[in-house]
Amino acid sequence: MEHAMTLSRRDLLGLAAGAAALAAATRFAQAQAYPTRPVRILSGFPPGGVSDTYARLVAQWLSDHLGQQFIVENRPGAGGNLAAEAVAKAAADGYTLLLTTSADAWNATLYQNLNYNIVRDFTPVATMSRGAGVLVVNPSLPAKSVPELIAYAKANPGKVTIASAGIGSAPHMYWELFRSKTGVNMVHVPYRGGGPAVADLLGDHVDAYIGTSAAVIGYVKAGKLRALGVTSAKRLPALPDIPAIGEFVPGYEATIYVGIAAPAGTPGDIVDTLHRTINLALTDPKMTARIAELGDAPLALSTAAFQKLVVDETQKWAAVIKSAGVRAQ
């Protein structure tokens, strides 16, 4: 019996190698079978908004193409940080995903003492779209172009008001970059969401707003708001006659990406499956039409390019936010 329990070094190495091979085979089989149960996609914003719309679009597509339910779970709060933290701390098994946006990149600087790192703690899976903002003013404001607005604001310091959807929102970031590039002195009026901001702009209670394209294009086309410029590097197909702000303000460009991320360490085969399936969605005419309705453009990047985008955006907005001295409230 004692002899039977004694193993040579060669036997031990053989057993270890066999165990490692079995573990690798098991992981491979799990990845090949993925998903075998429902998957959660956490969105850091309330139902009904653009982020939630994207989460539900990709969830439905993945459900239809991967044979399991992908369920959207809204975790609003702290500018999206509650959802991001929950995913960062989730098991890296592909069953908890994050609907990630540029907000996660600027939150890295806006919020102090976050319990996660947007670059280190996530695996980029796939991008979905890139969107831009539109600088609009109430028609009562005399400025009819970006240079005229800058001149008017400088001639009336502290008198021109510019709304945002709240501290740390996309319209706020668009404005802070504009302010840093032009030096104009407007009064920032943060609202609790884009809806109230647009309502007060329409009511002539504030003068200007750099809103998401989806939120303001309808009012521009109806003649209720005057568009002066778009935040993207090039003009938007939906507003071809409206120049890019960067045509007048050198170096100005601000866009929002939307994509899917997973916890760091998620197996490569699972990431590949999700990446391929989401990229397939971006070739579907119905999906691209829906993205266009939201005022955005499809964005299909490799996972490496997505990672670089996150790093670049985090660094870009860190400089803007630190310069402005902005802190989340």
Whether 231 and 139 map to the same domain: the answer is yes
Reported as a pLDDT band with limits 50, 70 and 90, residue 30 is: very low
Return the pLDDT at 6.
47
Do 67 and 210 sit in the same domain of this protein?
A: no
Cα distances (angstroms) measured from residue 103 to each of 9, 80, 113, 170, 245: 55, 7, 16, 7, 21
The pLDDT of residue 7 is above 80:
no
**Last residue in a domain, options 226, 247, 268:** 247
Beta partners for 124?
A: 261
Same domain, 191 and 269: no
Reply yes or no on whether the pLDDT at 162 is more than 60: yes
pLDDT > 90? residue 48: no
Residues 121 and 159 in one domain: no
Any domain includes 271: yes
Q: Are residues 234 and 297 in the same domain?
A: no
Per-residue pLDDT at 284: 98
pLDDT (tens digit, 9 = 90+) per residue, 216-242? 999 999 999 999 999 999 999 889 999
Q: What letter would DSSP give residue 71?
A: E
- The answer as to whether 14 is a domain residue is no
User: Do 242 and 265 reside in the same domain of the chain?
Assistant: no
Tell me how far apart the terminal alpha carbons of the chain are, to the nearest angstrom: 71
Closest to 231 measured CA to CA, from 217, 246, 220: 246
Report how far residue 106's alpha carbon sits from residue 314's, in angstroms, rounded to the nearest whole number: 6
Residue with the bigger pLDDT between 19 and 265: it is 265
The whole domain housing 139 covers 132-247
Looking at per-residue pLDDT, the higher value among 215 and 311 belongs to 311
Residue 13 in any domain: the answer is no
Query: Does the pLDDT at position 11 exceed 50?
Result: yes
Q: Any idea which of 17-31, 153-167, 294-308 has the lowest mean pLDDT?
A: 17-31
The predicted pLDDT at position 262 comes to 98
Average pLDDT over residues 79-85: 94
Indicate which CATH number applies to the domain containing 198. 3.40.190.10
Total domains in the fold of the chain: 2
Residue 90: HSE in the Cβ half-sphere, 13 Å Cα cutoff: 23
List beta partners, residue 134: 211, 230
In this structure, the answer to whether residues 136 and 239 fall within a common structural domain is yes
124 belongs to a structural domain: yes
Q: Is a pLDDT exceeding 70 seen at residue 134?
A: yes
Residues 180 and 265 reside in one and the same domain: no
Percentage of the chain lying above the pLDDT 70 cut:
90
The pLDDT, as a whole number, for residue 294 is 87
User: Does 1 map to a domain?
Assistant: no
How confident is residue 100, by pLDDT bands cut at 50, 70 and 90? very high
Residue 14's pLDDT is what? 56
Sign of CA dihedral 142, 143, 148, 154: positive
The pLDDT of residue 25 is 47
- pLDDT the model gives residue 1: 39
* Mean pLDDT, the chain, integer: 91
Tell whether 138 is covered by a domain: yes
Pairing of strands 122-137, 208-212: antiparallel
Do 217 and 138 fall into the same domain? yes
pLDDT number for residue 2 = 39
- Shared-domain flag, residues 242 and 157: yes
> Is 18 within a domain?
no
Assigned domain for 304 exists = yes
User: pLDDT (tens digit, 9 = 90+) per residue, 186-200?
Assistant: 999 999 888 999 999
Above pLDDT 90, what percent of the chain? 78
pLDDT higher for 19 or 217? 217
- Report the C-alpha gap between 7 and 189 in whole angstroms: 75
